[in-house]
Amino acid sequence: MTIEEAIRALREGRPVLIFDSASRESEVDMVFHASAITPDAIYRLRSEAGGLICFATRWSIAKSLGLLWGDDLIATVPELRPLTEKRLSYGDRPAFTIWVNHISVRTGISDLDRARTVAELYKVVKMYVSGDREGAIRKFRSEFQAPGHVPVLASRGLRLRRGHTELSIALAHLAGLEPAVVFAEMLDRGPSLNLERAREYSRVKGLPLVSGEEVIRACDGDEMCWSD
C-alpha cells in the first residue's frame, strides 16, 4: 500500500503499520492517531500487536508541559546514572519521558483506563496546538498522576532521530492531524514480528504497511517533519 493510503487510514481512525528500517530496530509498530483511541483500540494494540502501548507527541510540547527526558531524570540519581549512559544496538537515546495515569481511572491498566488516559492526553495536545497553551499545561499538571501505566514519548524530529516515535508523528503531520499518536510494537511468539509476517498480517487485515523510508520521502521539504 502507498503512503497516501496510510495517511487516509490515519485520518479515518484506522491503524497503520510502520516498519522503521532493517538497519535500525527492524520492527513494525501498529499506530493509531490518539483521537481514534477507544477501549477496543487498546485491546487491539495489546492483543494483535502485543508490545508496549505508548502515547507520543512532539518534544516541544512535552517540554512546555514540564516533562524531562526519562534518561535525564534518572541520571539525577548518582547511583543510577551509569544505567543511562548505555545504548541499545541501534544507538539512539530513548524517546521516553514519564509514565502517567489520568486521575479518573481505577488502577490505570485496563483497556478502559488506558483509553481514558490517552483521551485526556490527546485533549492536552489539542488544547496546546489550538493556542490554549496555559490551559493545556494547567490540565496536564492538575489531572494526571505519575508514575502511571501510559508512557509518554516525545519526538525529536526526523533530523535527529528516525524511530517509530518520529515516523508516527511525521505521518500524523502529513495527515493534517495533531501531533498525538499511540502505538505498540508488533510481536511474535519469542521475537518481534518479522517484516514478511507483518506483510501477511497487513494483507489479511487490509491495513496499510509503510516503511520509514517512505515516510521520510513524503516529508521531503516539509520542515515540520524534521523538527521537534
Radius of gyration in angstroms for the set of CA atoms belonging to the chain, rounded to a whole number: 17
Catalytic option among 5, 43, 132, 149: 149
Taking the C-alpha atoms of residue 94 and residue 57, their distance in angstroms, rounded to an integer, is 14
149 catalytic per annotation: yes
DSSP alpha helix (H) spans, the chain: 3-11, 39-44, 59-64, 70-75, 81-84, 111-129, 133-143, 164-174, 195-205, 212-218, 223-226
Catalytic option among 5, 43, 48, 90: 90
What CA–CA distances, in Å, run from 76 to 140, 154, 167? 23, 20, 29
29 catalytic per annotation: yes
Catalytic option among 25, 29, 111, 214: 29
194 catalytic per annotation: no
Catalytic option among 20, 54, 122, 228: 54
54 catalytic per annotation: yes
Taking the C-alpha atoms of residue 49 and residue 29, their distance in angstroms, rounded to an integer, is 7
Q: How would you classify the pairing of strands 28-33 and 16-19?
A: antiparallel
Catalytic option among 101, 128, 164, 214: 101
Other CB atoms within a 10 A radius of the CB of residue 209 amount to 21
3-state SS class at 168: helix
What CA–CA distances, in Å, run from 167 to 29, 148, 164, 211? 10, 25, 5, 9
Active-site positions read: 29, 54, 90, 101, 149, 185
